[in-house]
Structure 1
């Protein structure tokens, strides 16, 4: 009786065996396809979440103010602005130049802000600015207007003492107007006892 697996007589074998390697190769493409579909679905889901997230810009933001003047928080960007070409006038809010209640003296801790302003103006000798002093809403409006002017004059005097020509510095008062915080709390009142700087000329 002939051996059914004997290939010597030219007759193909009756039984064809598929080895383990052939079985593995058969399901690998399906595995890769399934993994690819999972990765695609995950990516689409992530994109949809990203589109719903608000992007937070750490950089400082220009906020419209009365008359279309933009308010830039902090004088640290003043030098860059004076060297640029952005529209004038532009208002800068001092980061830390506030006053004690009913006082117009510059606090020792806030002197660095004046130093920074003086340095920027020395680097840009054609610059002219207006300093505006403010008060919180306690007391009479007329008294707060006077106090705001005194605070602006105090900052001007400090700049003149650092070598800035007086004719480059104007002063004005905002009194208790245009508060940047609530006047219902002591912390808000402290924020409103401030000075602002308006760049008039580069």
Structure 2
């Protein structure tokens, strides 16, 4: 009659191969008495003949962690072998942990005796005075020159004052004024001729796209183009200063296309009346 024995790989810290386990079992019962072997789940199974079973039962095999079992299907799981007998060693510890958890939950639900906390008188706290903060500078958005320049030059408000050339266009990526720019410049010339003592500055700006140095040069070239256009229509050169500031002093966000369009501008700054 053939019977099966097996050894769990984790028994007593054992970590072996199937061949090593077979060699050890051969020392205990004789290699000729081992008829087959299997590796199922976490155990090595060996089929022994009657002689091997007798040597297995009379020798030290069981003391080393070997277990005898009688299974019709040696490939069945070893999770709960028939010959192991009794409860798993870890089951009492699991039950003890569950009981401890239940005891903790029961204690928390009881809450223990209620203790009234003494009333603590709190003194009134006066609010701290607000710190003195300097006034933030007001960001001035330039007014269109076509609507505000004349009235400003006729008034008494202090200088300098910024205006923006509205609808003043250039050729793409160039300082050359567009064909329709002469009408815009001409309207400013009429106003400046009516106030012959006024001195102005022409300041060019770009958005944040591109190289900083290239933007600075483009803004300077565009300011110079507008200054030359004013001079060509009769404004004296000593009444005009041209300057480019690149992407400095944005009046809108450079994160949107509309904001970038607003930042690409040319301003007229009244320096003196």
Give TM-score, length-normalised by structure 2.
0.47
Compare CA radii of gyration and give the structure with the larger one: 2
Per-residue CA deviations over 1:135-175 (Å, capped at 9, x if unaligned) read 11111111111111101000001000000000100011121
Does 2:156 match 1:76?
A: no
**Which of residues 239, 252, 260 is equivalent to 1:168?**
239
**Matched position secondary structure for 2:216:** helix
Aligned mates of 1:183, 1:127 — CA distance in 2: 33
Does 2:207 match 1:144?
A: no
Per the alignment, residue 92 of structure 1 pairs with 163
Structure with greater helix percent = 1
| Higher RCO structure, 1 or 2 (CA under 8 Å, sep 6+) | 1
Per-residue CA deviations over 1:51-101 (Å, capped at 9, x if unaligned) read xxxxxxxxxxxx943xxx673234322111111111111000122124344
Q: Structure 2 unaligned runs (5+)? A: 1-136
> Cα RMSD between the aligned structures?
2.0
Per the alignment, residue 156 of structure 1 pairs with 227
Per the alignment, residue 20 of structure 1 pairs with none
Per the alignment, residue 254 of structure 2 pairs with 183
Residue range with higher mean Cα deviation, 183-192 or 145-154: 183-192
Q: Structure 1 unaligned runs (5+)? A: 1-62
Per-residue CA deviations over 1:169-188 (Å, capped at 9, x if unaligned) read 00111211122233334443
Per-residue CA deviations over 1:104-133 (Å, capped at 9, x if unaligned) read 111223332211111111000000000000
Aligned mates of 2:262, 2:174 — CA distance in 1: 14
Aligned mates of 1:108, 1:76 — CA distance in 2: 22
**Which of residues 96, 120, 129 is equivalent to 2:200?**
129
**Matched position secondary structure for 1:92:** strand
**Matched position secondary structure for 1:170:** strand
Aligned mates of 1:177, 1:162 — CA distance in 2: 29
Aligned mates of 2:231, 2:181 — CA distance in 1: 17
Give TM-score, length-normalised by structure 1.
0.62
**Which of residues 145, 167, 176 is equivalent to 1:105?**
176
User: Quick check: 1:64–1:70 contact (8 Å CA) kept in 2?
Assistant: no
